């Protein structure tokens, strides 16, 4: 087309895109200043690249929308190209705002390092939390409640409440779980044998709370795979993921073994936990092991008082 026609077609989209870009960039530029009204060249440099990307994205939407209106009047079947370009431009703006406005809220201000073997950035951007030890993070109080397994029709269950069987997809309930309508001895089908979920409760200052379950997958082909859980709201999404998870097959970092002699009913300590040997009895059946007539098995029941729950360990000695 001739220069006059080209100028006529391009003028309106360029002007609209410039106006929108200037307005948005002005609001964004104001937000880059700190409390003292200072900024630095690095922020401005990166922000300038954002401005260019934003302008191109807006222009692509406006220009192709103009083309789309024109094509719909004459040849609707040819509108696919304009629609595709509008979609790509919207995706570009989505990526731009997602990356430009993301914020790390898990800054570690506790002074407790995750690991001195990792760079400072890793320790600074990841909060180390302990089970049942609430920690403040951003505008939330976090409470890590432990590792959970996901079972079909039952949801997330404390892994300490179930026992493995010879079938990796089947577990046995080791105790009654009232809130799940599960009785001790019930057979449960696991949803993904390689998955472990970490229950983390978030509580705001106003008392409202929600729970997320980031996942760790022990994948034979890909190693350890970390998958976030997401709290979605209208204006922001909160991504939570586990940064590290010890390989259960590697036991080099286990503590030393202690031998303690106790009587029935006597209190003793397992690490820092108060424990009681409740009973020692002979049993005729052992999960995952076939006893013959020449075998003998003795099971101990040990009550362990945890921070928020009581646990039972049932080790078995087989002769």
| DSSP helix/strand/coil, 173 | strand
Report the predicted TM-score, pTM, of the whole model to 2 decimal places: 0.63
Alpha-carbon dihedral 93, 107, 231, 141, rounded to 10 degrees: -150
- Based on the domain organization, do 173 and 276 belong to the same domain? no
Q: Examine residue 143 and state whether it is found in any structural domain, yes or no.
A: yes
- Based on the domain organization, do 229 and 282 belong to the same domain? no
- Based on the domain organization, do 183 and 271 belong to the same domain? no
Q: Examine residue 260 and state whether it is found in any structural domain, yes or no.
A: no
CA distance 291 to 284: 7
What is the reported pLDDT for 280?
A: 95
Q: Examine residue 86 and state whether it is found in any structural domain, yes or no.
A: yes
List CB contacts of 109: < 8 A, sequence separation 6 or more.
Answer: none
Residue ranges of alpha helices (H) inside the chain are 3-31, 41-74, 80-100, 120-125
Tokens of 234: 């209208």
- β-pairing, 135-137 vs 140-151, is antiparallel
CA distance 13 to 8: 10
- Based on the domain organization, do 93 and 201 belong to the same domain? no
Where among 35, 67, 100 does a domain terminate? 100
Q: Examine residue 261 and state whether it is found in any structural domain, yes or no.
A: no
- Based on the domain organization, do 232 and 127 belong to the same domain? yes
- Based on the domain organization, do 141 and 215 belong to the same domain? yes
Residue 208 CA: distances (Å) to CA of 47, 203, 231, 256, 317: 36, 6, 13, 42, 47
Q: Distance of alpha carbon 109 from its chain centroid, rounded?
A: 20
Which residue range(s) make up the domain with 276? Answer: 267-318
Tokens of 306: 């945890």
CB atoms within 10 A of CB 198: 22
**Could you read off the pLDDT of 127-176 as tens digits, one per residue?**
888 888 888 988 899 999 989 999 999 999 998 899 989 898 999 998 89
Q: Examine residue 312 and state whether it is found in any structural domain, yes or no.
A: yes
CA distance 37 to 32: 9
First to last CA, the chain: 94
Provide the number of structural domains found in the chain.
3
- β-pairing, 209-212 vs 297-305, is unpaired
Where among 65, 100, 135 does a domain terminate? 100
Q: Examine residue 196 and state whether it is found in any structural domain, yes or no.
A: yes
- Based on the domain organization, do 60 and 94 belong to the same domain? yes
- Based on the domain organization, do 217 and 124 belong to the same domain? yes
pLDDT-flagged residues of the chain (< 50): 34-37
Q: Examine residue 309 and state whether it is found in any structural domain, yes or no.
A: yes
List CB contacts of 173: < 8 A, sequence separation 6 or more.
Answer: 161, 162, 163, 182, 183, 184, 185, 186, 187, 188
Alpha-carbon dihedral 94, 99, 100, 106, rounded to 10 degrees: 130
What is the reported pLDDT for 95?
A: 86
- Based on the domain organization, do 152 and 232 belong to the same domain? yes
Q: Examine residue 141 and state whether it is found in any structural domain, yes or no.
A: yes
What is the reported pLDDT for 34?
A: 46
What is the reported pLDDT for 42?
A: 54
- Based on the domain organization, do 148 and 91 belong to the same domain? no
**Could you read off the pLDDT of 28-38 as tens digits, one per residue?**
655 555 444 45
CA distance 158 to 150: 9
- Based on the domain organization, do 126 and 234 belong to the same domain? yes
- Based on the domain organization, do 126 and 95 belong to the same domain? no
């Amino acid at each position: 087309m001739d220069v006059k026609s080209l100028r006529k077609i391009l003028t309106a989209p360029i002007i609209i895109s410039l106006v929108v870009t200037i307005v948005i960039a002005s609001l964004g530029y104001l937000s880059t200043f700190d409390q003292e009204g200072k900024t630095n060249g690095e922020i401005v440099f990166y922000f300038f690249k954002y401005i260019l990307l934003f302008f191109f994205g807006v222009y692509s939407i406006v220009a192709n929308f103009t083309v789309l209106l024109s094509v719909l009047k004459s040849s609707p079947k040819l509108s696919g190209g304009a629609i595709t370009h509008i979609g790509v431009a919207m995706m570009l703006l989505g990526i731009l705002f997602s990356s430009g406005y993301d914020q790390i809220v898990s800054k570690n201000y506790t002074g407790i390092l995750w690991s001195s073997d990792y760079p400072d950035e890793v320790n600074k951007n990841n909060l180390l939390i302990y089970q049942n030890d609430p920690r403040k993070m951003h505008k939330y109080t976090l409470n890590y409640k432990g590792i959970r397994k996901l079972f079909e029709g039952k949801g997330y269950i404390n892994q300490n409440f179930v026992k493995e069987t010879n079938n990796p997809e089947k577990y046995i309930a080791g105790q009654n779980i009232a809130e799940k309508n599960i009785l001790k001895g019930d057979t449960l089908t696991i949803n993904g044998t390689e998955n472990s979920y970490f229950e983390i409760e978030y509580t705001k200052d106003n008392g409202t709370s929600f729970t997320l379950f980031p996942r760790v997958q022990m994948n034979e082909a890909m190693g350890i795979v970390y998958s976030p859980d997401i709290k979605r709201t209208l204006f922001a999404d909160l991504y939570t993921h586990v940064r590290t998870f010890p390989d259960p097959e590697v036991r080099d970092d286990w503590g030393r073994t202690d031998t303690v002699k106790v009587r029935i009913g006597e209190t003793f300590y397992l690490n820092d936990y108060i424990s009681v040997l409740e009973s020692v009895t002979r049993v005729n059946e052992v999960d995952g092991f076939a006893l013959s007539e020449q075998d003998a098995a003795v099971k101990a029941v040990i009550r362990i008082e945890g921070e928020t729950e009581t646990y039972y360990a049932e080790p078995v000695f087989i002769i």
